[in-house]
Amino acid sequence: MRTFSEFSRPAWLRYGGAVVASAAALLLTGLFWPFFRNIPFMPAFLAIFLAGWFGGGGPSFLAVALCGVGLNFFFYPPASSLWLEDAYDVLRMIVFLVVGSLGSLVFRQLWAAKRQRAQLIVEEEKARASAETVAGELEQILESITDGFCALDRAYRYKYVNRQAEEILGRRREELLGKSALEGSPMSEAGIGAVRKAMDQGETRHAQAFNPVLERWLATDIYPSPDGVVVLFRDITDRKHAQEEIRRMAAIVESSEDAIVSETLDGVITSWNAGAQSLFGYKAEEIVGRPVSMLMPRDRKNEMQKILERIRRGERVEHFETVRLTRDGGSVPVSLSVSPVKDESGNVVEAAKIARDITEQKRQQTERERLYRDAQEAARVREEFLSVAGHELRTPLTSLQFQLHTLRRRVKSSEQDKAVQLLDRAAAQLQRLARLTEELLDVTRITTGRLELELEETDLGQILKEVVDRQKDSASRSGCELRVFAPEGITGIWDRSRLDQVITNLLSNAVKFSSGKPIEVRADLDTSWARLTVEDHGIGISPEDQAKIFERFERAVSKRSYGGLGLGLWITRQIVDAHHGRIDVTSRLGQGSTFRIELPLKPPGGAFA
């Protein structure tokens, strides 16, 4: 700001100046009196002029007074007196005082005018400075706001573009200023339309649109201004995405059949989806803001504390099965999964809970348990029945065998050969009936998974001998010779009666299909395995039949030619399997068959299953 020095001079300086100037004028007049005798007021007028110029009206009047008094006192007779003798001198003095005063008045007016002008200049400068300040502040504001800001004139030309607008539009302001916003502009069509409307109708417009040029979502506010429009806009892409994400999540939550509920760490419900409504019966407006404990049965209230404690520690609770109350007072079994909800700084602020109705699961589980119990009960009943049936079938077979035995003895002593022969046949049939009964009982027992072994130290050679002895009669009747090759001392931990059954089965099969040719039975010993082969030279088994003869109810021969239930080899294999052994067959049609069995001498792992 400019300063005006004359107005800042203090009064004492201005009036002091007048005193000095007056003294100097009187001194000058005195010193050069001969020169100033005729014009004694000349130096005084100079002093008045200087005092007026330097100090204004007041000092000028002072100089008039001082000079008038000084001249009168020192230079006009009588000397050293303020009295004037000469009338002419009085007149001159009056003229001097009048002219001096008029001059002072002029200086007073001059100073007043100068002072006014200076005041105006100062005020104008002040106004200009403050206008500059406002403009600068406005620009600062426009540059610092987070919105993009553009001003357009009536021809749609950019007049102002702020820094944020540069960033959002991806252009430098130099590229935009003075150019039309309608052509080659990064504005979207929707944006241009809104600007046109604002301009034409002088109305404020708001728009939210996706800008395909920038590939961003922009929210735009357009305000008419006296010489065009101003446009404020901001990038809301992230917000839009977040909103979309929130809408998507909300849609998922709403469409979920599971109840999805959030609650504060004090157990106050804060949100409630449609699934929760259909599971528990409460509407969101009925339950949001109320304690979740109202859903808990009396005996499970402390569950919530335990769950919320874990959530506070940031842990999850998964698939926690419990019971919750519904609006109508019923209870529903649910599986709960609860997760902590964290704020931006990672503090747990809420618990998000998913409750799944497991009524159906529970019902199925109960049903499965019931079916299992039924099945167990059925198995027990069957086992009991088998036990009774076995007992009931075996008892008459036993007495029948004994009665035939006694009858045969007695008939034989009376030497009725034919009757003895008939009794022998009856005994053989009875024997067959007994074997079939055992097979039937065995197959039922094995099918129910209960082939149990009675393991003991067993001599394979001895069993072989017993079986061969029993089969001798039927073999010789079929006209085939039994040749046995077995070293002594093949012993292992086996089920004696089951092994007897295996060998009996194989040998009676061999006899049945031997066509009168010899049968060779061999036993030998490996380090940990016993091996037994039964070889016949009879009708043989076709390759396709070999694959299935160990199956239940399968037979390699026509049931019209050969009897039996088709169970013998199946039972044999079950027994061998139970001993962890192996059984196989090699055979050629018309050439005979070889059955091979291998049994471990000891049960692997110390026990058979």
Partner 1 sequence: MRVLVVDDDYAVLDAFKDVLEDEGYEVCLAANGLEALKELRRGNRPCVILLDLMMPVMNGWEFRQEQLQDQALAAIPTVIVTAHNRPDESARELGAASCIRKPVKPEQLLSTVGKYCA
Q: Which of 359, 395, 476, 528 binds partner 1 (CB under 8 A)?
A: 395
Report if residue 552 touches partner 1, rule: CB under 8 A: no
256 versus 462: smaller Cβ distance to partner 1: 462
- CA 412 to CA 420: how far, in whole Å? 6
360 versus 392: smaller Cβ distance to partner 1: 392
- Of 470, 548, 479, residue with least CA distance to 512: 479
Beta carbon of residue 538, minimum distance to partner 1 (angstroms, whole number): 28
Beta carbon of residue 308, minimum distance to partner 1 (angstroms, whole number): 58
- Which residues ranging from 368 to 387 are in contact with partner 1 (CB under 8 A)? 386-387
Stretch touching partner 1 by CB under 8 A, among 193-201, 239-247, 400-408, 498-506:
400-408
Q: Which of 401, 474, 515, 533 binds partner 1 (CB under 8 A)?
A: 401
Report if residue 403 touches partner 1, rule: CB under 8 A: yes
- CA 213 to CA 280: how far, in whole Å? 50
CB 52: neighbour CB atoms within 10 A? 28
Q: Which of 186, 390, 518, 603 binds partner 1 (CB under 8 A)?
A: 390
Report if residue 394 touches partner 1, rule: CB under 8 A: yes
Report if residue 396 touches partner 1, rule: CB under 8 A: yes
The burial class, CB within 10 Å (0-12 / 13-18 / 19+), for 264 is: middle
Beta carbon of residue 469, minimum distance to partner 1 (angstroms, whole number): 11
Report if residue 391 touches partner 1, rule: CB under 8 A: yes
- CA 357 to CA 422: how far, in whole Å? 76
Helices vs. strands in the chain: H and E counts, helices first: 19, 17
Three state DSSP letters for 426-453 = HHHHHHHHHHHHHHHHHHHHHHCCCCCC
Stretch touching partner 1 by CB under 8 A, among 213-221, 270-278, 392-400, 415-423:
392-400
Sign of CA dihedral 268, 273, 278, 284: positive
553 torsion bin: left (phi>0), alpha (psi -120 to 50), beta (else): left
Report if residue 542 touches partner 1, rule: CB under 8 A: no
DSSP-based three-state secondary structure for 583:
strand
Sign of CA dihedral 43, 46, 50, 52: positive
Beta carbon of residue 281, minimum distance to partner 1 (angstroms, whole number): 58
- Which residues ranging from 407 to 446 are in contact with partner 1 (CB under 8 A)? 409-410, 434, 437, 441, 445
116 versus 406: smaller Cβ distance to partner 1: 406
Q: Which of 406, 429, 448, 528 binds partner 1 (CB under 8 A)?
A: 406
Stretch touching partner 1 by CB under 8 A, among 14-22, 182-190, 388-396, 575-583:
388-396
Report if residue 578 touches partner 1, rule: CB under 8 A: no
Interface map 459-498 toward partner 1 (x if CB under 8 A):
--------------------------------------x-
Q: Please, which residues have CB within 8 angstroms of residue 93's CB and are 6 or more apart in sequence?
A: 68, 71, 72, 76, 84
Beta carbon of residue 280, minimum distance to partner 1 (angstroms, whole number): 57
- Of 494, 411, 510, 405, residue with least CA distance to 455: 494
Beta carbon of residue 532, minimum distance to partner 1 (angstroms, whole number): 23
Three state DSSP letters for 328-357 = CCCEEEEEEEEEEEECCCCCEEEEEEEEEE
Number of chain positions touching partner 1 (CB under 8 A): 27
Alpha-carbon distances of 606 from 94, 345, 498, 573, rounded to whole Å? 158, 62, 19, 21
- CA 294 to CA 306: how far, in whole Å? 16
Q: Which of 399, 528, 542, 591 binds partner 1 (CB under 8 A)?
A: 399
Beta carbon of residue 393, minimum distance to partner 1 (angstroms, whole number): 8
Beta carbon of residue 587, minimum distance to partner 1 (angstroms, whole number): 33
Beta carbon of residue 295, minimum distance to partner 1 (angstroms, whole number): 56
- CA end-to-end distance (rounded Å), the chain: 113
- 78 prior amide bond cis, ω within 30: yes
Stretch touching partner 1 by CB under 8 A, among 90-98, 300-308, 315-323, 394-402:
394-402
- Of 163, 157, 174, 116, residue with least CA distance to 140: 163
128 versus 409: smaller Cβ distance to partner 1: 409
Beta carbon of residue 389, minimum distance to partner 1 (angstroms, whole number): 10
In the numeric block, which tokens belong to residue 16?
A: 């002091």
The secondary structure of residue 536, as a DSSP letter, is -
In the numeric block, which tokens belong to residue 172?
A: 């430098």
Beta carbon of residue 497, minimum distance to partner 1 (angstroms, whole number): 8
Report if residue 239 touches partner 1, rule: CB under 8 A: no
Dihedral, 151, 157, 160, 166 alpha carbons, nearest 10: 100
Footprint on this chain of partner 1 (rule: CB under 8 A): 386-387, 390-403, 405-406, 409-410, 434, 437, 441, 445, 452, 454, 497
